[in-house]
A and B are shown apart, each in its own frame.
Chain A
């Protein structure tokens, strides 16, 4: 499953060999990941048959890569040593939040799933939800960021985290919560997913700025806390347990949480600045584009018969698609014929 706490053998001190030997493959997780991969590929293949510009091939690769990273993070040495060392455990969570989640989002799974559904199901059940005001409200970046922070704070400062160390089911729930929260946050911040209407880059930049302080405070609490916050680590047998070892690992965990968040913040700011710039450049050129990197109000093309969400600008191709379906290679430089492919 997602974790293997509670009653497992205590791992020996870490050696490079553990990178090969420290795997605890969970069949249920493997099966789940395999089905997700199959479902994604089937939907992706079906979506390619629809009219409109096809999804680029790197997106399925990204999604499959994200699933692979998920297996590594939850079945590999991270998980084994995370049960006894908080710093490693925090590293595992950072991989889930800052690596697995964005790579999965890069695969645009929501759009692929939506496009792969039977047209009747899509029109009757999915599209009304996608176009609903409620989804638009719920996908506000500020709200999603608040929920993301709420999950992080709730799991770390209630009894959840400590309970998770002794109960695999709670531990799995914790990891699922991180994945969902991370997936939602990355989707609304940088996702190129037509299901969620992206907000302006300025708003998303403001959200990234607003998250800096609470994320930093969360990490610093681990660094400055005078005592171990989770008794389960103290109670671990030698050589992992004991107050001193648990406290040292907890302080390192704070650093593990803080440093990546600095890089992620800078990277996000750069990314969103580029997105804002590209949108603005397209607007300056008076080209009526539907979107550039998801910064305008809608990336969903609801043309009659189109049947699927259209990625109006694919970074791979460097093309924009006008509402009329005309492709342009940057504002004002048509490269394609009128109409969609």
Chain B
């Protein structure tokens, strides 16, 4: 492992042989990263198309709803599993994770994405990524904008595959962690909190491992309701007499969706713990406060999902209160420990802003600002006004696109040399990052402003009043700028991560 006390570095130099970082693991992580990159760029371009439709009404509405479903589900899945693969590489310096399981999760995730592509692009399946029952199988007659109900089933199976794939990853993390530390207590830092071990001791756990472990546990717990709702929906498809309780199914779907979306940001934080200190030249050991904060996250990540159901009058009011309180509470461990911790790590460190730390720090900003937007929306009085507006995609894109995805990019840049032996073009990365951040922030700010103006969400095109479309138009410009940056970075990273890709240009 790189000595944290040495001078700031800008790349990850190849390390001496570490059991967990075998060649097979190295190859598998590279494949994960390359595939994630390709899908991410494609899905991001679909996002640009969506803004194009909203501002210019250039395509049939059915395409919009199919693309919004693909964009949402695909981005959630690919970002989640991409981050999991990079975080796996981070913790492989201590944990020997199974490459076979990595292959299995890869096959499952890719199968899921292909199934979503088929159902949305061929079947025009478009209930939105949250696929709330009974819309997926009751879309209305095909001639009036609906899709054939049968296209719901590939999508359902895809959701189950993502849940199970992530749970499988979780089992592997816990298995490897327990094997490495001897017991889950040391993996989760009991010895540090009890004072038996110092955070800087050689055998002590580190924040990345704690984060991965907590997410692993939650992944397993989330897979169960995720699988149950899919089984129920499939059962309804097989026998329509089997009635799925609507409110219950909505609770399950939003629980699973909320968890999967939140996992991404927490996995990203796990990567940041390992990478950012190396550029700041400071250590980020697993302090008591960090560990306790992560233990709290075990619970605080579960209950905020109730804030997605404020609008459902049939939902017991007590659960709304739980959702509100839990949403506020969930901000504390993240903000106090991780975000402020990162600020202090960087403060006066003399950090050299290459793409990796830049993306990681920018991700934290996106996480913090998107999180505040989410907190506002989790306040019932505000939610009543804002929930069905573009405010929701605003905060969501802020902490996903400008948070989780940037965490992923930071990790991908940092570990490129270690994984492939090739160095990304840091200058190109720096320039691209300006495009991505500028364009990305224009996109989310137009969402925020449009949301504040009560522009409705989930609409392909709002014909009147015309000013509603101004935000979409400006957003389209921002998305175009971000797309340029993304394509530049993607080209360079594919050169690094895909053997043979761009070899001719390298020779010349």
Contact = CB atoms under 8 A, between A and B. Distances in A.
Contact of B185 (A209, A213, A276): A276
Nearest to A295: B183
B149 to A, nearest CB: 20
Contact of B248 (A202, A216, A224, A284): A224
Interface residues of A, number: 25
B196 A281 contact: yes
B365 interface: no
B134 to A, nearest CB: 14
B243 A226 contact: yes
A224 B245 contact: yes
Given A223-B245, A224-B245, A226-B243, A274 B185 contact: yes
Contacts of A276: 183-185
Nearest to A212: B224
A277 B190 contact: yes
Contact of B232 (A205, A216, A224, A269): A224
A173 interface: no
B245 A277 contact: no
A254 to B, nearest CB: 8
A205 B225 CA distance: 20
Interface string B196-225: 100000000000000000000100110011
B258 interface: no
Contact of B220 (A209, A220, A226): A209
A220 B231 CA distance: 11
Nearest to B242: A226
A223 B298 CA distance: 26
B186 interface: yes
A201 B186 CA distance: 14
A266 B298 contact: yes
A251 interface: yes
A273 interface: yes
B177 to A, nearest CB: 11
Q: Looking at chain B, what size class is its interface with the partner chain?
A: 20 to 34
A297 interface: no
Given A224-B232, A251-B248, A277 B243 contact: no
B224 A273 contact: no
A269 B241 CA distance: 39
Contacts of B196: 281
A107 to B, nearest CB: 26
A235 interface: no
B93 interface: no
Contact of A277 (B191, B221, B225, B241): B191
B224 A216 contact: yes
Contacts of A274: 185, 190
A273 B184 contact: yes
Nearest to A280: B183
Contact of A280 (B182, B220, B224, B248): B182
Contacts of A201: 183
Interface string A36-49: 00000000000000
B185 A277 contact: yes
Contacts of B190: 273-274, 277
Nearest to B190: A277
Interface string B229-270: 000100000000111110010000000000000000000000
Nearest to B178: A202
A219 to B, nearest CB: 10
Interface string A119-156: 00000000000000000000000000000000000000
A251 B248 CA distance: 9
Contacts of B415: none
Given A212-B224, A216-B228, A280 B186 contact: yes
Contacts of B40: none
A251 B247 CA distance: 11
Interface in A210-253: 212-213, 216-217, 220, 223-224, 226, 251
B207 to A, nearest CB: 18
B184 A277 contact: yes
A273 B248 contact: no
A279 B221 CA distance: 26
A279 B190 CA distance: 13
Given A213-B224, A220-B228, A280-B182, A273 B188 contact: yes
A252 B185 CA distance: 36
Contacts of B242: 226
B244 A224 contact: yes
A278 B225 CA distance: 32
Contacts of B248: 223-224, 251
A88 to B, nearest CB: 16
Contact of B183 (A223, A266, A273): A273
Contacts of B299: 266
Contacts of B245: 223-224, 251
Contacts of A281: 185, 191, 196
Nearest to A216: B224
Interface string A254-289: 000000001000100100011011111100100000
Which of A209, A251, A266, A273 is the most central at the interface, judged by chain B CB atoms within 10 Å of its CB?
A273
B172 to A, nearest CB: 14
A274 B190 CA distance: 8
A209 B224 CA distance: 11
A318 B298 CA distance: 27
A280 B185 contact: yes
Which of B178, B182, B183, B242 is the most central at the interface, judged by chain A CB atoms within 10 Å of its CB?
B183
A201 B221 CA distance: 20
Contacts of A209: 220
Contacts of A205: 184
Nearest to B298: A266
Contacts of A226: 241-243
Which of B178, B188, B224 is the most central at the interface, judged by chain A CB atoms within 10 Å of its CB?
B224
Contacts of A224: 232, 243-245, 248
B474 to A, nearest CB: 44
B228 A273 contact: no
A236 B220 CA distance: 41
Contacts of A220: 228, 232
A284 B186 CA distance: 12
B151 to A, nearest CB: 24
A201 B183 CA distance: 9
Interface string A190-215: 00000000000110010001001100
A185 B185 CA distance: 23
B104 to A, nearest CB: 19
B243 to A, nearest CB: 5
Contacts of B225: 216
A229 B245 CA distance: 16
A277 B186 contact: yes
Which of A209, A251, A269, A277 is the most central at the interface, judged by chain B CB atoms within 10 Å of its CB?
A277
Contacts of A213: 224
A220 B235 CA distance: 14
Contacts of A262: 221
A91 B97 CA distance: 42
10 contacts: A201-B183, A202-B178, A213-B224, A216-B228, A223-B248, A226-B241, A273-B183, A276-B184, A280-B182, A281-B196
Closest 9 CB pairs of A and B: A277-B185, A280-B183, A273-B184, A276-B183, A277-B190, A226-B243, A277-B183, A280-B182, A273-B185
Given A226-B243, A276-B185, A281-B196, 9 more contacts: A201-B183, A216-B224, A216-B225, A220-B232, A223-B245, A262-B221, A276-B184, A280-B185, A281-B191
Interface of B: 178, 182-186, 188, 190-191, 196, 217, 220-221, 224-225, 228, 232, 241-245, 248, 298-299
